[in-house]
């Protein structure tokens, strides 16, 4: 049996889950339950326990902006290698999958790709595993498998797959792909039993997919092949050649291949699946208390029912609320009736119109060395928490407009300021004047946690001159 290579699609912004999901920190990187793991991490974790399957290291496809966020979440699962493919521009799912397929065939054209979205929830993991094992026998026989979700209600927000003749008790030829229907059609599809929701999950041999792509969408095949031939390895990243990829048409895998090929088959599954497309859909698949509430964080709900309430920090109390979504983050609060959560995108559009940072920036962000989180700010100061992983360090840098005061909370830091080198441990601190050349490195065995107080006339992130950077950043 050839290797099974998970290909995780980790692009997208997930604006319908604002204010937790933002452009710099979209929903696939969020933990939306009490597990402590993000949707991306849960996607990878549910691949463990596949009996008799040689599951290789995953390939994760994302954009340049999220590369360190992906790397950190893979590192936390001990899955980080040179396995992050960076798309220079978004070109939809067909080119993204093609990049992974070109990489896989370098080793063996018979390697099987399992294409998954990073932002889906699957509650019935055993059913998911069973479907993967069933799909393998068809993928090795040159068929392109798509996984359909057995519909639970007449949904108008998903595309559908109509099954044709049976190949086994659980696998069918694909008769047609159907666009998102009106409610009347969705009711008809549900009653017929012949239709599944289009999940966007696939399995096929890398070589078979590329053969069909070359035959059916040759321009995508050629552009992605050239992009990978000219790609470069950089730490944990595979940098796709921008010039070649810019020439690639934008198309979905459905339009480019699956709707045109004669080799498409569908396996319908009941997997407790959700694409987490809105706060109401997340409420539907989450565990609830006796009053139908989903409470995340510090929540007290009195005479309240069927609500989704989440708080990152402050206590949230509700009295007499029904069918409401309350999302409290460090810098934004959303209150919406569940029937109107699709209009969250209108809030994001308004934030963009007003040029407010809340649509884009999150209070925490990831760096190649660790993470940085906002604590407090004022007219001439900012307070942040830095976590630097063992063996990592900041760039050699200086700032024109701001000074910094570093206080070590835990761990050990090797600090260089101008011509001086010294070590700081717990409860020790140092001051870095504006204009001083400085850096630090975590030389210990545990994470270095540090409080940084910035003061000065200009405090934004672009007041930095990197004189040397081990991560190749400009």
User: Are the beta carbons of 119 and 28 closer than 8 angstroms?
Assistant: yes
Model pLDDT for residues 11-31, shown as the tens digit of each residue:
887 789 999 999 988 999 998
Residue 301 bridge partners (DSSP): 318
Predicted local confidence at residue 235, as pLDDT: 85
Residue 312: what pLDDT? 86
* Domain limits, CATH 3.90.550.10, in the chain: 4-274
> What ranges in 29-177 are assigned the alpha helix state H?
39-45, 67-76, 93-105, 125-139
Residue 305 has what DSSP assignment?
A: B
Q: Which residues have a Cβ under 8 Å from the Cβ of 75 and sit 6 or more positions away?
A: 389
Q: For residue range 392-401, what is the model confidence (pLDDT) as tens digits?
A: 999 999 999 9
> Considering only 104-108, 112-116, 282-286, which range has the smallest mean pLDDT?
282-286
Pairing of strands 264-269, 294-296: unpaired
Helices (H) and strands (E) in the chain, counts: 11, 30
Q: How confident is the model at residue 1 (pLDDT cuts 50, 70, 90)?
A: low
Average pLDDT, stretch 88-110?
Answer: 95
Measured distance CA(182)–CA(268) in Å, rounded: 22
| Predicted confidence (pLDDT) per residue in 28-62, tens digit | 999 888 788 999 999 999 999 888 888 999 999 99
Q: Span 374-382, mean pLDDT?
A: 92
369-464: CATH topology: Jelly Rolls (2.60.120)
Length of the chain equals 474
Distance (Å) of CA 396 to CA 67, 393, 450, 464: 21, 9, 18, 10
pLDDT band at 82 (very low <50, low <70, confident <90, very high): very high
Query: How far is residue 357 from each of residues 137, 329, 397, measured CA to CA in Å?
Result: 49, 14, 25
Q: Say yes or no to pLDDT of 425 above 80.
A: yes
Query: Where in the chain is CATH 2.60.120.10?
Result: 369-464
Q: Which of 332, 455, 453 is closest to 385 using CA atoms? A: 453
pLDDT of residue 167: 95
Whether 126 has a pLDDT exceeding 70, the answer reads: yes
- Averaged pLDDT, 202-209: 98
How many Å apart are CA 352 and CA 370, to the nearest integer?
A: 28
- Strands laid side by side in the 429-432 sheet: 364-367, 370-378, 381-388, 448-456, 402-410, 429-432
DSSP 34: T
| Rounded mean pLDDT, 379-387 | 95
- When pLDDT is averaged across residues 96-117 and rounded to a whole number, the result is 96
Q: Which residue has the higher pLDDT, 471 or 94?
A: 94
Q: What is the pLDDT of residue 285?
A: 85
CA distance linking residue 133 with residue 178, whole number of Å: 26
pLDDT (0 to 100) of residue 460? 87
Mean pLDDT, residues 330-345 taken together = 93
- CATH entry, 4-274, from 1.10.3720.10, 3.40.50.1390, 3.90.550.10, 3.20.20.80: 3.90.550.10
In the chain, the percentage of residues whose pLDDT exceeds 70 is: 100
218: tokens are 């040759």
Reported as a pLDDT band with limits 50, 70 and 90, residue 251 is very high
Task: Give yes or no for a contact between 364 and 382, defined as CB atoms under 8 angstroms apart.
Answer: no
DSSP letter for 179, please.
P
């Amino acid at each position: 049996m050839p290797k099974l290579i998970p290909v995780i699609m980790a692009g997208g912004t997930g604006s319908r889950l604002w204010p937790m999901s933002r452009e710099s920190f979209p929903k696939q990187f969020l933990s939306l339950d009490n597990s402590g793991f993000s949707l991306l991490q849960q996607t990878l974790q549910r691949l463990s326990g596949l009996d008799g399957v040689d599951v290789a290291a995953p390939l994760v496809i994302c954009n340049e902006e999220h590369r360190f966020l992906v790397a950190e979440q893979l590192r936390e699962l001990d899955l980080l290698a040179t396995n992050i493919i960076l798309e220079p521009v978004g070109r939809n799912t067909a080119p993204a999958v093609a990049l992974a397929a070109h990489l896989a065939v370098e080793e063996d054209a018979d390697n099987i790709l399992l294409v998954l979205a990073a932002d889906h929830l699957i509650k019935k993991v055993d059913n998911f595993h069973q479907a993967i094992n069933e799909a393998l026998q068809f993928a090795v026989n040159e068929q392109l498998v798509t996984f359909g979700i057995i519909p639970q209600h007449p949904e108008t927000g998903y595309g559908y797959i109509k099954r044709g003749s049976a190949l086994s008790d659980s696998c069918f030829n694909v008769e047609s792909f159907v666009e998102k229907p009106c409610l009347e059609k969705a009711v008809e599809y549900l009653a017929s039993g012949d239709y599944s929701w289009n999940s966007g999950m696939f399995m096929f041999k890398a070589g078979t997919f590329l053969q069909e792509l070359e035959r059916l969408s040759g321009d995508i095949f050629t552009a992605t092949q050239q992009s990978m031939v000219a790609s470069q390895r950089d730490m944990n990243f595979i940098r796709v050649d921008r010039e070649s990829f810019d020439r690639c048409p934008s198309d979905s895998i459905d339009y480019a291949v699956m709707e045109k090929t004669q080799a498409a088959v569908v396996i319908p599954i009941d997997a407790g699946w959700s694409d987490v497309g809105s706060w109401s859909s997340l409420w539907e698949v989450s565990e609830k208390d006796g009053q139908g509430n989903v409470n995340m964080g510090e929540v007290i709900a009195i005479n309240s029912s069927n609500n989704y309430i989440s708080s990152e920090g402050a206590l949230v109390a509700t009295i007499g609320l029904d069918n409401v979504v309350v999302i409290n983050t460090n810098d934004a609060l959303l209150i919406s009736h569940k029937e109107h959560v699709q209009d969250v995108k209108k809030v994001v559009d308004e934030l963009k119109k007003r040029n407010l940072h809340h649509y884009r920036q999150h209070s925490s962000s990831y760096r190649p060395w660790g993470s940085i989180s906002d604590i407090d700010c004022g007219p001439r100061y900012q307070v942040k928490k830095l976590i630097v992983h063992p063996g990592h360090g900041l760039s050699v840098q200086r700032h024109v407009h701001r000074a910094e005061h570093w206080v070590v909370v835990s761990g050990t830091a090797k600090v260089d300021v101008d011509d001086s080198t010294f070590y700081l441990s717990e409860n020790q601190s140092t001051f870095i004047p504006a204009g001083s050349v400085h850096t630090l490195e975590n030389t210990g065995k545990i994470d270095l946690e540090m409080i940084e107080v910035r003061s000065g006339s200009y405090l934004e992130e672009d007041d930095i001159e990197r004189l040397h950077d081990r991560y190749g950043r400009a």
